[in-house]
Structure 1
Amino acid sequence: MKIPGGALCGKLAVPVDYAHPDGDIAALALIRFPATGDKIGSLVINPGGPGESGIEAALGVFQSLPKRVHERFDLVGFDPRGVASSRPALWCNSDADNDRLRAEPQVDYSPAGVARIEEETRQFVSRCVAKMGKKFLANVGPSTSPRTWMPSARHWATTN
């Protein structure tokens, strides 16, 4: 991904678990395309998901917006917890696991096929827990995103 000149990149340190703010820290990747004229606000791009990069989404939006929007608004994107450039990144499958899963393009809904899917799911969860830890996995998902971004977005929008 090629980032246009003038973009500002950084990381936002947040607690892995908001119930224990002095504990482990996650680093969330950010990108900001500053307004080129008299700024009136910031547009924060939510990548949706699950697992989508907000930096890539913001880049796509940035490239499609008219000049008058670039002049008046900062455009801000972020990679949610566990995604893309944020750390730790949530990678539970090896390349070999992904290649093996892609090699079976048809979903088999027979009883034997469903049993195989259930076993694959159990193995996936076991790999994730072993690699990422229960604490991190318990704090990845929709419930952590607003808690992370609303105060940060308000602060950034009013101080920059």
Structure 2
Amino acid sequence: MTKLTETQTIILSAGAQRPDNIALPLPKGLHGAAAKMAVTRMIERGWLQEVDANLRRGEPLWRETGDGHGTTLVVTAAGFLAIGVEPTVDKTLPAIREHAAKATPPKLPTQRAGTKQAMLIAMLQTAEGATIAEIVAATGWMSHTARGVISGVLKKKLGLAITATKVGGRGSVYRIG
């Protein structure tokens, strides 16, 4: 069984019990940036699917698309499996598949040439890798900023596999695996 946070478990379990497996409303106290982050991660993992909301049936809105329509969140088959529930094959799963087929794939971040981030990625792709001191010297960042970019941007946002190994005389060397 997949390891879920308490919030993820609550969202998926509640959605699995609702009509049409709609994951909204979110738990009390979860709103703003925290809600967006939690839902985004669950969509990335395939546990939730963003589908067009049927306003005539009163489906709750997750977000407005700007063209007068809105979307809602539905628990997917992978979401059912993540909480250890066997997905039921009924009208909701074919609807999810139909919406998923129509949906456009998520936009992947594009890398601009000549940026410090591009320079950092190039440094980490070499066989020698780079230490925090070398990254600081090349970019002009503070050491905590360099570590934050590696952890937050490269690992989490871009999904790159970064490894850190201790090398005698150099310290911790970071590489893209």
TM range (shorter): under 0.3
* Structure of larger gyration radius: 2
TM-score computed with the length of structure 2 as normaliser: 0.23
Between Structure 1 and Structure 2, which shows a larger proportion of helix residues?
A: 2
TM-score computed with the length of structure 1 as normaliser: 0.25
